[in-house]
Structure 1
């Protein structure tokens, strides 16, 4: 979406199938499908919130609290109410 298409690069850690969507195709999609624009904005806002939360953790919390918060994020609760960390 930027004027410099080489600005970002990604590297896959395992065999991956990727699609390239040109800027023109993307702009056409969001121009003709307002619902997809709203879905994309919601998705990007959620990603931004996650990144900001992690940045705040790094800036304002010590390692002890950062590790504790990460353990809580990773934990899942089963039907019996027991917690486990994968």
Structure 2
């Protein structure tokens, strides 16, 4: 699991930040970059965000999966024990 930051169009993987968190805006930008799948942990359970395209994003958590059709919808979908990425971004362990 890695954390990323962005410089122009390039994505930089910050391996020294493994196990850290990021803001909702940073997470939105990472999903929107379509650069890679994003693995995370929340309350001891694994999850992932798989942005196949900006209109086909798979959200998985604790063995359940939901597909959404925009990055905005991915951020607002309450798939994390009734909460959204927007609400819990800073609590996710990346």
TM normalised by structure 1 equals 0.25
Identify the structure with bigger relative contact order (alpha carbons < 8 Å, sequence gap 6+): 2
Higher helix residue share: 1
> Which protein is bigger by CA-based radius of gyration?
1
